[in-house]
Structure 1
């Protein structure tokens, strides 16, 4: 927390949990509509190419715009930014709903434009939320609240598919889309009651290219975090093909049903919820790199073993069990890394750094997706899981063997302790 924050420190929990509730309501309605749009495209076109294009639309803005949104986030009012992006998404939902009401089918181009706008909004919202958390909560609580935020996001992944499937079956699509408007109203209404402290960089002039380079420079200069980030990007490249092929693994390799494919998604998300809850409750490790190493190990073993399972009903049961543990381990990497980053840089720089970081972590996803289908067709979908598991374990080993990465959190905690001690000494001197 910065000294410039004006609200009562004793009220930070109420303020933060009000913010968290608003993000939950806004997030779950947005995801329900997102699932509904994908199911509509599946039913209307039956085209894998259309679905792949829709998936890429959701990733491209993060990759391309990520480094450039950071300077804007650092300089603009963050509450206004979150409200505006929610409102813009709601407006496009209304336009899409009207188009679907007036025509017998939704125009595909408008559906794609809507998906793209939603992705652009998320590209702004994610680093904005990440950059304001250190200004809303005490420094020692950052790991916990990141875990709680991760748990809320995981809960969205659990509830949204089931709720979306139910609503999709009973409500016409043109009215279901308006759920996003309801979520925006609730989210914006609660956000209006939240206190988000200003940081000193707000209102300064913006130089997109220079500011983006500055964000990258700050990240590169921090060798430990830079190595962790680059290895994490490689992990995303290796893991993304397997992640995108879960439905094919269930329905083709295990000869399962759509319901079983949905079950895997829910099971994995339940695991993520449990992992986020563990971090939220017990997240005060003295060395957060140890849980990250454990996460690499668990994910690598569970995903790798999935590729060796027999393509039978019994094999599918083991697949479900393995994915409970894989889901449990998944939040530890991003959540703990995010807390370390938030403690490593001043809040006024975080938007620029988060923009670059999110872009680096996302850029490998589309690359993995492009090669996932052809590679799976050639060697078998189960082999993709084996490759992902082995690759994940290698990433964990490389991180452990890199001293700057392995010792990063211990050194960071030492620096933070020295900083707190110096501040305490200064406070005592001022009182004298």
Structure 2
């Protein structure tokens, strides 16, 4: 489960990410609270989130091209320093009592631009630290790291906001980036296997698009990631609706739902770390399970039954995420890995500004149950459609096995024997 941690460079990276991810989740909560305090508007909060994700939607592929052109460790130091600086500016403005909502919007947009470069660079740097054999394990541990920070970060932020205010939370997040930078600087360069930088040439973005378009297996992954990420992963919208409108519970119950979902995701990430290389059958099966379980949760009658249903959803969702990430990284040419992962992150995260408002509208108009049911239906249907298309293209078929444990396998199609005309 923890084989990647035998690698010294990856240990340094994981430790820095644990500190930084916790700080990031702290800032998310503090930033939302600050915007609500300044404006009292949910729309202003939505604008803040949209501005943070917009650069990924518009420039995600370009960020991948930057990752291919430069040394990834040096580039990560630059992006992490930029993110820390943006957090420090917000801390100073807040502590000085001069912060306005447009400051938050501008800094959120700047963070989005840094993230558009940082995400594909960070994703592709993992293979340079641990190699191809341990890549799936390292990706799963990264997800576990993120989910653990998701549990602890908001809890710590809530205490700090109540005790000393949002400004100091931003300051703590700014300091957290130092841990990542120090870890990157302390790495042994001789233990890394860096990919040779690609020289800047015209048409490099189109080259990545042509490469993906010519690969049916990659198109299948991108289709799954696009639909599931856009319509399925909208729990920030639906969980609040369930807590408030369906079960008429308070903020504590809402926080518990988020914690339970994160615990399920953490368990799924640790289970994924025990597996070897992910295969297409697992990816399709995890997407279908995620959608089906979401539909089951949508009709749960009580608060506790709904909360318990979130655990397997978290497991299936993180299994899908880690399988998709490792499948793409292990199947692309090293020279194109940054651009392909930039496109991957664009598809996965870029759909949030589109799917979030749509699911939010469904939840507001027809109720949170219908919104969650819709997301699950789209996810499960996409998995079935992708499986059928791949089966037809490759001459293979999907086989569902229930015992000794549920699994989906891709098997060769057995040709139907034809009678021998001579013998007849």
Q: TM-score, normalised by structure 1?
A: 0.85
- Looking at structure 1, the residues matched to 18 and 214 of structure 2 have their Cα atoms a distance apart, in angstroms, of 35
Q: Deviations over 1:132-170 (max 9, x none)?
A: 222222322221111111111111111111111111111
User: After alignment, is 109-118 or 365-374 more displaced?
Assistant: 365-374
Matches within 5 A, 1:288-299: 288-299=279-290
Matching residue of 1:334: 321
Residue 80 (structure 2) aligned to one of 63, 86, 91: 86
CA contact (8 A) 1:70 1:353 kept: yes
CA contact (8 A) 2:267 2:315 kept: yes
Q: CA RMSD in A?
A: 2.4
Deviation at 1:328, TM superposition (A): 1.1
- Looking at structure 1, the residues matched to 361 and 376 of structure 2 have their Cα atoms a distance apart, in angstroms, of 19
Matches within 5 A, 1:208-223: 210-223=203-216
CA contact (8 A) 1:237 1:365 kept: yes
Matching residue of 2:182: 189
- Looking at structure 1, the residues matched to 236 and 283 of structure 2 have their Cα atoms a distance apart, in angstroms, of 19
**How many residue pairs were aligned?**
393
Matching residue of 2:275: 283
Matching residue of 1:158: 151
Question: Which structure would you say has the larger RCO, counting Cα contacts within 8 Å and 6 or more residues apart?
Answer: 1
Relative to its length, the structure with more helix (as a share) is 1
Deviation at 1:12, TM superposition (A): 6.5
- Looking at structure 1, the residues matched to 123 and 70 of structure 2 have their Cα atoms a distance apart, in angstroms, of 15
Matches within 5 A, 1:121-200: 121-195=114-188, 197=192, 199=194
CA contact (8 A) 1:199 1:348 kept: no
Deviation at 1:198, TM superposition (A): 6.1
Matches within 5 A, 1:371-410: 371-401=358-388, 402-403=390-391
- Looking at structure 2, the residues matched to 234 and 336 of structure 1 have their Cα atoms a distance apart, in angstroms, of 16
User: After alignment, is 342-351 or 372-381 more displaced?
Assistant: 372-381
- Looking at structure 1, the residues matched to 49 and 153 of structure 2 have their Cα atoms a distance apart, in angstroms, of 17
Q: Deviations over 1:176-224 (max 9, x none)?
A: 211122211121111111246464542x4324x6111111122222111
Gaps of 5+ in 2: 399-407, 411-424
Gaps of 5+ in 1: 1-9, 412-432
Matching residue of 2:347: 360
Secondary structure of the residue aligned to 1:106 is: coil
- Looking at structure 1, the residues matched to 146 and 37 of structure 2 have their Cα atoms a distance apart, in angstroms, of 27
Q: TM-score, normalised by structure 2?
A: 0.86
